[in-house]
Amino acid sequence: MALALVTACSGPVEISVSLVDPCNQDAVATMDFLRFEPRGTDIDSVGLSTIQAQEDGTTQPIEIPLAEDFQLVVTGHRGSFDQAPSGIGVSARTDLTRASGAVDIQVPFALVNSFYKTTSLGDPEQCTDLQVGRFGATATFIPDNGKVLIVGGATLVSLTQDVTELEYTRVVEMYDPSTGTFERVAELRVGQARLFHTATYIGDGQVLVAGGENRVDGATVALKSAFIIDAKDAGAVKPRSETLVLREARSGHTATALPDGRVLITGGRDLVGGSSRPEDQLYSGSVEIFTPADSAFTYVNDANGNALTLDARYGHSAVLMPASGDVQQIMVSGGMNASGPVLGVDLVTVDPNNKGTKDTSADQLGVGAIFHAASITDTGSVLLSGGYGRIQDAEPSGQLPQNPSASVEMWTLEGSRVRRICTANLVEGRGFHTATVVGRRAVFVGGRGSTGQPLESAEVAVLALGAACFAEPPTTQQMSDPRTSHAVARIESSGEVLIVGGRRQESASDFGQSLSTAEIFSPARDP
């Protein structure tokens, strides 16, 4: 199916639009009707929309104004054009004010609520992969250029048939939705490679990379270092040479971006050399904050000037909730420490002067406290799911993790505390997974199931508007690969969710395989 657009303003620009199927999915041909909706500044999206029967092959030309942020949304419908979309595609934004002559716009088109492999728009039969397979990496959407920055992680390298070691990658990549490809854009400096770190967008194309772990002198250690990557110009991505220093070494911590560019750091643990036992590690209960204006980390203090302290925790979650005036509010949930799982849920507040408070909810977690997933909904509530209830299930000695929870619950603000407002269940238990909310839909991706092996499935649920968590029970969707310790990023321009890398593992005696594959979840949505 092709669409012809004609600009209605000065300077003739002929725009040719084509729909591109994913490399592993035949979506366009299964639609009966296609609806084309142009969007952008001064574009009457509803008035200029056109509907075409699939059998007609080519649409009639429509006129559009020249827009610097032109985008085309295409929905596919079965049976009748007024049915809910069964397929959807969203083009990258294009600056038509700088265009001349012929402009080709390719729209990746996929079935709704499905996973498809990342695909080269220039060669739709070609699935695309990361330049380097990795797990424990981060994926961060960069709104300045619409791309996704992929940093850190480790690759499993087989030295011999029986010997495997971790190689901490220094390769920095970017995923470009406008081409469907991954590009090597930079290399981390010596000492900057790491996994299980955080990478947080702080504005103006900058990403703060903090903590994590690496091997130093033959031992795995938690890192106290941090640095900034300038990713505003996708053609000149640059990790800065300046080393920033956390107040404490941390791995498996959380980093929460505040609206003003500050970043709140909670929890994590320092690793004790010579011991892999969870009870021997050093868990942090302190709260740090990074202030871009000072390029420094400081402890958050309470009203008396003392360092604000939470329960020490690792494997927890932290989610930014709606602010109270100029005071930011962050919900910190669960985790574990040397004494066992942490069942408490704290509301941490931070004012513009980095003064903070904490209030612990009267409710305790019903999901697994350790390695659960958390996501903010469009109503400002927090959705928690899965996880493990015991340390020996989350980090067993010589075995894969076991007995993940299938529980789901929603939490909301009530005064100076948070409270649970509903409970539900996933189809199956999962831990080490990710959860992302797009509109009224939540997608729970991968992780480890009841056998401890990575899952090749995801679950999609429609969130309720009333007292219940789900308006409809979750449905299971097949993924292209089983994966855990993967990274996800929501592509804000299209509403899709990018899933990259991760790890496969069949048994505790087999360290497994680091994945270079990537896939995209295409939710039913209004981009």
pLDDT of the chain, 527 residues: tens digit per residue: 445 555 555 455 677 888 999 999 999 999 999 999 999 988 888 888 888 887 776 656 667 778 899 999 999 999 999 999 999 999 999 888 887 777 888 999 999 999 999 999 999 999 999 999 999 999 999 999 999 999 999 998 866 666 678 899 999 999 999 999 999 999 999 999 999 999 999 999 999 999 999 998 888 999 999 999 999 999 999 999 999 999 999 999 999 999 999 999 999 999 987 778 888 899 999 999 999 999 999 999 999 999 999 999 999 999 999 999 999 999 999 999 999 999 999 999 999 999 999 999 999 999 999 999 999 999 999 999 999 999 999 999 989 999 999 999 999 999 889 999 999 999 999 999 999 999 999 999 999 999 999 999 999 999 998 889 999 899 999 999 999 999 999 999 999 999 999 999 988 777 789 999 999 999 998 76
Looking at residue 1, what is its pLDDT? Answer: 46
- Residue 391 DSSP SS3: helix
Which of 321, 309, 418 has its CA nearest to residue 363? 418
Please give the full DSSP string across 163-232, using - where no structure is assigned: -EEEEE--EEEEEETTTTEEEEEEEPPTT---BS-EEEEEETTEEEEE--EEEETTEEEEEEEEEEEE-S
Place of tokens 């299938």: 406
Q: How far is it, in rounded angstroms, from Cα 116 to Cα 89?
A: 12
Going by C-alpha positions, the residue among 84, 93, 44, 87 that lies closest to residue 64 is 44
Q: pLDDT at position 339, please?
A: 95
Instruction: Identify the pLDDT of residue 55.
Output: 77
Res 10: pLDDT: 47
Contact 382, 334 (CB under 8 A): no
CB 64 within 8 A of CB 81: no
pTM of the predicted model as reported, rounded to 2 decimal places: 0.95
Query: What's the pLDDT score for residue 206?
Result: 98
DSSP 3-state helix, strand, coil percentages of the chain (rounded to 5)? 5, 50, 45
- Amino acid 41 reads T
For residue 398, count other CB atoms closer than 10 A to its CB.
7
Report whether 147 contacts 140 (CB < 8 A): no
* Cα distance between residue 211 and residue 140, in whole Å: 16
Q: Distance (Å, rounded) from C-alpha 20 to C-alpha 521?
A: 16
Give the burial string for 255-284 (b: 16+ CB within 10 Å, else e): bbbbeebbbbbbbbbbbeeeeeebeebbbb
pLDDT at 268: 98
